Amino acid sequence: MAEQTPKLLKLKTTSSPSFQLMPLWPDNIEAWFCYAEADFYEHDVNDTRAQFLAVIKALPREFNRYVTPSMFSSDVSEPYETLKRSILKRGDPTNRLRLDQLLNNIDLHDGSATDMLLRMGEVIGQRTFDDGRFRRLFLSKPPQQVQGVLVSLQNNTVDELAAYADRILGISKSSNVEVFSVKEKPQATQNDITELCHALTRYFNG
């Protein structure tokens, strides 16, 4: 009687996704996540924890600070989305520095504050940018006397501040400022503009 060769029992195990995401693009993080999610869809990777682990493997070392121990716990129900938000919110330091430089290069020139605000918005685009930081950056752009008026308008939006700045700048350039009790002179002096800004502060807050 021939000996029967014992059958090997193959166990079905759960393994990590067979595909690998391309390394993160620090210069265009938003686009990289779009490609990553397309890969998830193509390879039918729907589990948020599997997506989370795939992203971790694709991160450069300097991005490891965005991965926190809590993301590995069962308390976080959506670890992939949590990590994604963390990266998009903070961004790469090099990319943030480049963005700051671009914004710092924008100033009034001979244009309006509203136009300047639009240019700043175009530079930021779809990037995440802290609202308070953006407001402070915008307020640093107008002349110092105008800043004094705008800073006092704490409850107004940045769009409203830009409109107020345009009104102040328009009035300060005009020779007829008697409506605000400022003496008319051939050319506005520093004291005239300061007095005008104080009057406008009372006007806007009144």
Give 124's pLDDT tier (boundaries 50, 70, 90): confident
For the CA atoms of 135, 141, 142, 146, what is the dihedral angle to 10 degrees? 50
Question: 95: which residues sit within 8 A by CB, 6+ positions away?
Answer: 26, 27, 29
Predicted confidence at residue 11, as pLDDT, reads: 36
Answer yes or no: is pLDDT of 192 > 50: yes
Q: Are 171 and 181 in contact (CB under 8 A)?
A: no
Quickly list DSSP for 73-115: STT-S-HHHHHHHHHHHH--HHHHHHHHHHHHT---TTS-HHH
pLDDT of residue 37: 93
Residue-wise pLDDT for 22-57, tens only, equals 999 887 888 899 999 999 999 999 999 999 999 999
Question: Is pLDDT above 50 for 9?
Answer: no
Strands (E), the chain: none
User: Domains of the chain: which residue ranges?
Assistant: 29-90, 93-175
Nearest to 136 by CA among 126, 127, 147, 128: 147
| Residue 139: count of CB within 10 angstroms of its CB | 16
H or E stretch including 201? helix 190-205
**What's the predicted TM-score (pTM) here?**
0.45
Could you tell me which residue, 11 or 35, shows the higher pLDDT?
Answer: 35
Taking alpha carbons only, the member of 189, 202, 102, 111 closest to residue 152 is 202
What pLDDT, on a 0 to 100 scale, did the predictor assign at position 173?
67
So what's the pLDDT on residue 51? 93
The token pair that represents 49 in the structure block:
């924890």
Residue of 95, 200, 193, 85 lying closest to 145 (CA atoms): 193
1 burial (CB, 10 Å; 0-12 / 13-18 / 19+) is exposed
What lies within 8 Å, CB to CB, of 61 at 6+ separation is none
Q: Give the chain's mean pLDDT.
A: 76
Which residue shows structure tokens 């509203």? 114
Structure-token pair, residue 66: 């965005």
pLDDT at position 86 over 50: yes
Predicted confidence (pLDDT) per residue in 174-183, tens digit:
644 444 444 4
Please give the pLDDT value at position 179: 43
Please tell me the predicted confidence (pLDDT) of residue 13.
38
| Residue 202 near residue 149 (C-beta atoms within 8 A) | no
